[in-house]
Amino acid sequence: MTKASYKLTEYDGRYYFNDGTGYVLVDTGFNCHSCSLDGKIGPFSVSDQSPVLMGTLQFFLSNFLGPAKPEGQSPKAILYPLDMKTCLLKGDTITIDDSADNLPAHTCFLPFVNSSFPVFNGKCNGQPMKFYFDTGMRMAVVDDPGLAKKKSLGTIKEWIPLLPFHRYVDTPYYPAVFEFADGFQFEGHAEYDAGSQYISIARKASNINFDVFFGNEIFQQYDLFISSIPGKEGLALISKEGKGNKKVNDTAKKKTIARSKSQAIVLQEKLLKRICQETNEKRREAIECELLSRGIGFRVLKEGTLVVPAKNHDRQNTVVVCAHYDVYPGSKGYNDNGMSIIIILGMLDALPDNVEVVFTNGEERGMTGATEYLEDVQNTLKACINLDVCGCFDEVYLDPMNCEQAKNLAGCKKGTMPASDAMIFRINNIPAVCFSTGKADVEFQAGIALICQTMHMHSQDNDFSLLNFEMIPKVQEKVLELIGLINARRLTSYNTLFS
């Protein structure tokens, strides 16, 4: 009779915890018993140590999980919750209990149709289906051709662990309404499993016939209680305070839920939290992991500056888009300068071939990263577009500096900003600009004063609630428009990682 609690870490759409000896993946979709390279998960003994099992586990961790590594570490174990009596995922904590005998108060209980697998009955967009709950999925994956006839909301990068081509794939996702026991309804998103390839393989592996992988998107609104108590095998959903859906009144046909944050913003929030680590080295490693997960090459300079090379290697026509990743000691750096990082990461696929992306280190220590980069490329650049403190308020701010094209860019509040990496380019006679975001209803310099209160040494830089994620596409649009002006052509469209 053992009970243990750990802090959960969400990374790349999956949930992990550190049991004191390494990271453990929580995976309801892993169709076997919990297993560990050292035979332990915290105080719990799991699996045997047979070479076959250990070889299988190592193969799974290295291949099926792909580049997803919390804190840069490969997980050492997989927890299959149905091995325990109960697992409670509440807030940012998981509580594992092999002796529990009751259910907590809950909004809805979804009984499993098979005590060995997390499969329950429900409907997707009105069609009866069987759902397999898989915490390895960001959102639902549905075997329903009718879904793809709807208008896609965008694409999401999903790791598809299918041999021999396990890799990230851009998959379209669609609006979906899921209905379960007692008229309970959840409104979310679903990917269409074209040709039923992924679901078909999983069906064969588990010998269970199901139509939907139900992803962890529901965890945005509900705490989860996974129960394997005899006679009470199922998934209990517990509404978080101020969130969650209600039961549907079929007679009145009322829509009982408010739309949750867009999938784009949810993903952006998660990416920002992954990047905003407590040390500059860990922040750089988080950016490296993100680039590696997308198959994007980069190089690292001596002082830690990350460079994603332009596809066109003509230096004199290279436009640099940059942002510093280093953080002022004691600050989480959400606004200074984590938001600028995810703005750039979200537009990598949209940048022209002559654009080089640079994530500098040392901006808070005299702009040493920008200096190092310019020395590396020998000052031969067409222009520099710097992003700094781009996370708060409601208007795009721009310091055109010595870039003539920027002076003609409409839709921005313009003026002179404090020193940033862009200054290093300017004093080396390279046309440079700096983007930020500030208040729309004040004069430029008054707006700058407010921006400065959300920077490094100020506590507001640690306040996640002050961030305005709706500014991300607005800044991206202006950056791409300016690149078009600099390249003497306008860009008419763009895509982001989250679109």
User: Is 422:324 a contact under the CB 8 Å cutoff?
Assistant: no
Q: What is the pLDDT of residue 434?
A: 98
pLDDT digits (tens, 9 = 90+) for 168-182: 777 788 888 899 987
% of the chain exceeding 70 in pLDDT: 85
Give the DSSP letter of residue 29.
Answer: T
pLDDT band at 122; cut points 50, 70, 90: very high
What amino acid is encoded at 366 in this protein?
G
Sheet containing 395-399: give its strands across.
299-300, 306-308, 355-360, 319-324, 383-387, 432-438, 395-399, 413-414
User: Domains along the chain?
Assistant: 3-97 (no CATH), 108-260 (2.40.70.10), 265-486 (3.40.630.10)
Q: Which of 53-67, 197-211, 430-444 has the lowest mean pLDDT?
A: 53-67
pLDDT band at 259; cut points 50, 70, 90: very low
Q: What is the pLDDT of residue 118?
A: 92
Cα 151 from Cα 274, distance rounded (Å):
31
pLDDT band at 149; cut points 50, 70, 90: confident
pLDDT digits (tens, 9 = 90+) for 334-366: 999 999 999 999 999 889 999 999 999 999 888
pLDDT digits (tens, 9 = 90+) for 237-255: 998 865 555 554 443 332 3
What sign does the dihedral 435-439-441-444 (CA atoms) show? negative
Q: What is the pLDDT of residue 170?
A: 75
For residue 156, pLDDT over 80 is answered with no
For residue 372, pLDDT over 50 is answered with yes
pLDDT band at 196; cut points 50, 70, 90: low
Q: What is the pLDDT of residue 58?
A: 65
More confident residue, 257 or 74: 74
Gyration radius (Cα) of the chain, Å? 24
Query: DSSP strand E in 336-438: where?
Result: 355-360, 383-387, 395-399, 413-414, 432-438
In a 10 Å sphere around its CB, with 0-12 CB exposed, 13-18 middle and 19+ buried, how is residue 36 labelled?
Answer: buried
Instruction: Please list, residue by residue across 43-78, b when 16 or more beta carbons sit within 10 angstroms of its beta carbon and e when fewer do.
Output: ebebbeeeeeebeebeebbeebbbbbbbeeeebbbb
For residue 256, pLDDT over 50 is answered with no
Q: Per the structure block, which two tokens stand in for 440?
A: 């729309």
CB atoms within 10 A of CB 415: 15
% of the chain exceeding 90 in pLDDT: 48
More confident residue, 386 or 155: 386
368's enclosing H/E stretch is helix 368-377
pLDDT digits (tens, 9 = 90+) for 59-82: 666 656 666 677 778 788 889 999
pLDDT, average across residues 301-322: 92
pLDDT digits (tens, 9 = 90+) for 383-392: 999 999 999 9
> Residue 263 half-sphere exposure, CB side, CA atoms within 13 Å?
28
Cα 364 from Cα 330, distance rounded (Å):
12
Cα 482 from Cα 432, distance rounded (Å):
11
Q: Per the omega criterion (within 30 degrees of 0), is the bond before 164 cis?
A: yes
Mean of all residue pLDDT scores within the chain: 84
Cα 213 from Cα 108, distance rounded (Å):
19
For residue 187, pLDDT over 70 is answered with yes
Determine the Cα angle at 183 with ends 180 and 184, to 5°.
60
More confident residue, 324 or 138: 324
Q: Which of 74-88, 152-166, 201-215, 239-253 has the lowest mean pLDDT?
A: 239-253
For residue 316, pLDDT over 70 is answered with yes
User: Is 161:63 a contact under the CB 8 Å cutoff?
Assistant: yes
pLDDT band at 13; cut points 50, 70, 90: confident
23's enclosing H/E stretch is strand 23-26
More confident residue, 38 or 24: 24
